[in-house]
Structure 1
C-alpha cells in the first residue's frame, strides 16, 4: 500500500492544478503547476535500482530540465529550450539502452510522417502570423522530440515507449492550440497527457538497463 502513496499524491496534485487552481495570480498558478513535477522527480529518484548507472542519472536530469521547461513555458523560447535539453537527455538514455527490433525500427516511418504533417502546419501558421523568428526553434524541437520518441521505442521499455508517445501528443496539442487553431479543453488535454508522460518516464528509470525482455 505504501508504494501507492506517492503516485496518489502526484495524481491528486495534478488534478488539483488542472481542474481547480485558477490561472491568476500567475505565481500561485505556476507553483501548483510544478508541484506534480517535483513529486514526479522524487518518484523517479526512488526508482533507482541498487546498481545504478549513468542512464538513471541522465533520465533524472531529463526530468529536471523538462520541469524547468514547463515552468518557463510562459516565456516560450526559454521554456522550449529547456524542454529540448530535457529531450536530449532522454534520448541519450534511451539510445544507451538500444535493443534492435525490425518492427520497432520501422516505427520511424509513422513518427517522421506525423512530425512532417504537424511541422508543416505549424510552420505555415507561424509564417502567416509573422512569427518568422520561431520557425527554426519549432522545427528543431519537432525533430528532437520525434527522435526522442523513436529512441524510446528502440529501447523496448514499455514505460518509456508509452510516455514518449504521450509527450509527443501533449506537445502536439499545445503547439496546435497556440499557433494553428483553438482546441476544446486544450489545457486539460495538454496537462493530463504531459503529467502522465512524465510519470511514465520516471517509472521507466527502474527498468532501464535491466536484462528483462524488450517489448517487440
Structure 2
C-alpha cells in the first residue's frame, strides 16, 4: 500500500507540474513540485526488498539522489549540471549490471552520429561565444548522456532502452533550448520526458526482480 501511494503521489505531482501549474510561480514551487515525483521514486527504491542484493537497485538509488540534488540546484547551471552528470554515471553503471550482449555496431554508430551533430550544433554555439570551458563541459556531458543509450542497448531490455532514449531527448531539448534557440513549451518537454524516463527506470524493478507485484495489479 505504501509503495502504491508513492507511485500515485509521483504521478499526481508530475501531472500537476506539467499541465496545471501556472507559468508564473515562485522559485520555491517551481523547484519543489517537479522534485516531489523523483523523491517518491527514491523512496520506492529505498524500500525495495532487493536493495541489498541487486546492484541495479543500489546504483539507481545513488543516481536518483544526485538527480534530485541536480533538480534542486539547476538554477545554478554548472552546479546542477555536475550533479546530473554524476546521476547519469550511476545510471550507466546500473545498466551495465544487466548487460547481456555486446553493443550493436549499428546502434553505436547511430548514437555517435547523433552525438557529433548535437555537439557541433550546441558546442559550436557555445565556443562562438568564447565560453571555451563551458563548451568543453557540455561536450563531456553529451558524451556521458549518449553512453546511457550505449549501456541500455547492452541490456536487451526495451524498458531500459526507452528510458535511456527519453533521458537523451530530455537533455538534448534542454541544451538546444539553452544554447541554440528557444523551444516553445521547452519546460514541459524537458520535465515530461525526464520524469517519464525516471518512472520507467524504477518500474523496471518488478519485471526483472519480481518485487512487490502489487504495483502492477
User: Which TM-score applies when normalising by structure 1?
Assistant: 0.87
Q: Is this contact kept in 2: 1:48–1:206, CA < 8 A?
A: no
Q: How many residues end up aligned between the 2 structures? A: 209
Higher relative contact order at CA 8 Å, sep ≥6: structure 1 or structure 2? Answer: 1
Q: Is this contact kept in 2: 1:122–1:180, CA < 8 A?
A: yes
The residue that corresponds to 1:137 in the other structure is 137
Secondary structure, in 3 states, of the residue corresponding to 1:106? helix
CA displacement at 1:53 relative to structure 2: 2.3
The residue that corresponds to 2:77 in the other structure is 76
Tell me the alpha carbon deviations over residues 5-57 of structure 1, each in whole angstroms, 9 at most, x when there is no partner.
43332221012122333453212221112111111212333554387223311
Secondary structure, in 3 states, of the residue corresponding to 2:154? helix
Alignment of 1:99 with 2:107, yes or no, is no
Question: Pairwise mapping of residues 115-134 of structure 1 onto structure 2 (< 5 A)?
Answer: 115-134=115-134
User: Which TM-score applies when normalising by structure 2?
Assistant: 0.86
Question: Pairwise mapping of residues 1-216 of structure 1 onto structure 2 (< 5 A)?
Answer: 5-22=5-22, 23-49=24-50, 52-100=53-101, 104-207=104-207
CA 1:198–1:53 in 2, change beyond 3 Å: closer, same or farther?
A: same
Rounded Cα–Cα distance in structure 2 between residues aligned with 1:190 and 1:81: 18
Q: Is this contact kept in 1: 2:72–2:80, CA < 8 A?
A: yes
Flag structure 1 segments of 5+ consecutive residues without an equivalent. 211-216
Flag structure 2 segments of 5+ consecutive residues without an equivalent. 211-217
Please give the root-mean-square deviation of Cα atoms over the aligned residues, in Å: 2.3
Q: Is this contact kept in 1: 2:52–2:58, CA < 8 A?
A: no
Rounded Cα–Cα distance in structure 2 between residues aligned with 1:209 and 1:143: 30
